[in-house]
Amino acid sequence: MRPDKMRTTDTHRQGNAEFWPTLPYDEWRDTAMTLRLWIQIVGKVRLKLTPWMNHSWHVPLYVSSRGLTTSPIPHGLHTFEIEFDFIHHELRISKSNGEDATLQLRAYSVAEFYRTLMTVLDDLGLPVAIDRVPNELPEVIPFDEDETHRSYDPEYAKRFWRVLVQADRLLKIFRSRFCGKCSPVHFFWGSFDLAVTRFSGRSAPPHPGGLPHLPDTVTREAYAQEVSSVGFWPGDERYPHAAFYSYGYPEPKGFGDGEVRPAAAFYSKELRQFLLPYDKVCSAADPDGAILEFAQSVYDRVTTLADWDRDSLDEASLNPPVPIQ
């Protein structure tokens, strides 16, 4: 390899590492599970107090420039917001009357996190009672009894958020290329993934349900219409690797039989979706291009096989106004 080529490659890798840090699931498994449960507690606070929105769009959290936030939650005539700050490793609660409180994120149990947060909310005049059973996990311990999960590695929590920042940015670009009904880009704390979903405008057959510790009625309402989804997921015990994923519901006949781009992507029969391993994104010469190509390629496959009305849904039908100068 020529010295100038070597220097260029090394610079590229360093640049990628800054914005696309490695996230090996095996190295932060315990932190990932503890954080998932902490985030479920905060998400259930939002769920309890926020008016229902179709497809559970009142439930998710959102990527912020410091971590993950609930966005404003109503409480009587006040609102408040809870934000995970993965830069300073704090949980910040801000109330619309100017009161606020901060909890340090450190290695303490789910039960202690739950008790501390509920006490702080009470002290701020924001009492709330939530369902204490975690969702979408095969084995669960009520939050107030869980002394098992108690790990917090600040470096990996920060890495996870840094990946979410990039994924959020790119999914919003992808979302802008569609003019039909489309979800926000949001973080579902039950499944622990960041996603955006496009809708064909047609009804879908009832979803079979079966997600652990989640009512089938919720799943069926979420998938009541035909969709194509894409997102980022840090992995779990079924597939212990971070990956971008994409699928369609109902799954069109022959969906998993073909290939999509880029070449590193593959169809998982177990998960019934296409996956683009995150480590392949990290090593790509153009991570942005790889992710957007993957999202578009799987969407093309879903919509071609399911015969979506692409002429009326895609960006070619958009006619944006001339920007105001």
**Boundary residue ending a domain (98, 113, 145):** 145
Examine the domain organization and report whether 120 and 179 are in the same domain. Answer: no
Task: Answer whether residue 7 is part of any domain.
Answer: no
Task: Answer whether residue 9 is part of any domain.
Answer: no
**Tokens 């670009």 map to which residue?**
173
DSSP 57: T
Q: What is the pLDDT of residue 17?
A: 83
Count of CA atoms in the C-beta half-sphere (13 A) of 169:
12
Residues across the chain: 325
Examine the domain organization and report whether 159 and 129 are in the same domain. Answer: no
Examine the domain organization and report whether 164 and 226 are in the same domain. Answer: yes
What are the tokens at 130?
A: 């939530």
**Boundary residue ending a domain (145, 178, 196):** 145
Question: What's the pLDDT tens digit per position in 170-199?
Answer: 999 999 999 999 999 999 999 999 999 999
Examine the domain organization and report whether 113 and 165 are in the same domain. Answer: no
Residue 1 has pLDDT above 70, yes or no: no
Residue 45: domain span: 25-145
Question: What's the pLDDT tens digit per position in 48-81?
Answer: 999 999 999 999 999 999 999 999 999 999 999 9
Examine the domain organization and report whether 158 and 138 are in the same domain. Answer: no
Q: Which of 68, 282, 291 is nearest to 170 (CA)?
A: 291
Question: What's the pLDDT tens digit per position in 223-249?
Answer: 999 999 999 999 999 999 999 999 999
Residue 86 has pLDDT above 60, yes or no: yes
Question: What's the pLDDT tens digit per position in 306-323?
Answer: 999 999 998 766 666 666
Q: What is the mean pLDDT of residues 7-25?
A: 69
Task: Answer whether residue 324 is part of any domain.
Answer: no
Percentage of the chain beyond pLDDT 90 is 90
What are the tokens at 235?
A: 């992995």
Q: What is the pLDDT of residue 162?
A: 98
Task: Answer whether residue 2 is part of any domain.
Answer: no
Examine the domain organization and report whether 107 and 166 are in the same domain. Answer: no
- Cα distances from 80 to residues 21, 126, 260, in angstroms, run 32, 8, 43
Cα Rg of the chain, angstroms: 21
Q: Which of 176, 195, 178 is nearest to 186 (CA)?
A: 195
Cα–Cα distance for residue pair 226/231, rounded to 1 Å = 17
pLDDT band at 11 (very low <50, low <70, confident <90, very high): very low
**Boundary residue ending a domain (145, 166, 181):** 145
Residues 131/122, Cβ–Cβ less than 8 Å: no
Q: Which of 100, 130, 96 is nearest to 113 (CA)?
A: 130
What are the tokens at 55?
A: 């497809």
Task: Answer whether residue 285 is part of any domain.
Answer: yes
Terminal Cα-to-Cα distance of the chain (whole angstroms): 49
Examine the domain organization and report whether 300 and 175 are in the same domain. Answer: yes
Task: Answer whether residue 59 is part of any domain.
Answer: yes
Q: What is the pLDDT of residue 80?
A: 98
Question: How many domains is the chain partitioned into structurally?
Answer: 2
Q: What is the pLDDT of residue 15?
A: 53
Alpha-carbon torsion (131, 162, 243, 149), positive or negative: negative
Q: What is the pLDDT of residue 16?
A: 77
Mean of the per-residue pLDDT values of the chain: 93
What are the tokens at 70?
A: 């609930």
Q: What is the pLDDT of residue 10?
A: 43
Examine the domain organization and report whether 128 and 253 are in the same domain. Answer: no
- Structural element, H or E, at residue 67: strand 67-69
Q: What is the mean pLDDT of residues 149-163?
A: 98
Cβ neighbours around 112 below 10 Å, total: 14
Report pTM.
Answer: 0.93
Residues 6+ apart with CB under 8 A from 233: 191, 192, 193, 194, 242, 243, 244, 245
Residue 12 has pLDDT above 90, yes or no: no
Task: Answer whether residue 134 is part of any domain.
Answer: yes
Examine the domain organization and report whether 77 and 205 are in the same domain. Answer: no
Examine the domain organization and report whether 129 and 178 are in the same domain. Answer: no
Q: What is the mean pLDDT of residues 108-112?
A: 97
